Amino acid sequence: LKLAGALGLFWRMRSHLWSEGYRWLEIALQNSDGAPKSVRAKALLSAGVLQFLQWRFDQAVTYFRESKDLYQELGDLNGVAEGTHWLGRYAFRKKEYSEATKLLEASLEMYREANDQHGELKTVRSLGDCARLLEDYERSKRLYEQGLLLSQDSDNRLGAAGILNSL
């Protein structure tokens, strides 16, 4: 389970492996009796992300909720922020932009408290997308510009490209 959870980012970055990665995570999760909560939370989050990336949103949200709950039990602020971020992305995909904004703002606050600049960047961009779809163009522009500054500060060229595409 620990290995499968750790491979989540590897599978996420290689889109041709999303299905394979999810299958391995599903098997590992089914056989995870007695696994530490932190290991299970990470694997659940990875499974949710891989399902989300395959547009299986209703399956993904179940993993996100369970992962977030475990991270809350553990007091893992960054894990709770990540679970909340993905729940916000889920609401966004369901076109529930006000709910998505609420979840993403909560996630952003946690990422900032945890000093997680990558989490902050992706959440600012997601909030910019919500604001744009809610036709709050000024807020959207401010958020995208904030994201551009964050990506430049961390020399994140991929993040900067995504933000520039949104602007």
What's this model's pTM, rounded to 2 decimal places?
0.85
> Which residue, 138, 135, 140, is CA-closest to 124?
140
Find where tokens 């500054």 sit: 149
In residues, how long is the chain?
167
pLDDT digits (tens, 9 = 90+) for 15-70: 566 677 777 788 888 887 888 999 999 989 999 999 998 899 999 999 999 999 99
pLDDT digits (tens, 9 = 90+) for 86-132: 999 999 999 999 999 999 999 999 999 999 998 999 999 999 999 99
Q: How many Å apart are CA 126 and CA 139, to the nearest integer?
A: 12
Q: How many Å apart are CA 67 and CA 121, to the nearest integer?
A: 21
Q: State phi, psi for 134 to the nearest 5 degrees.
A: -85, 5
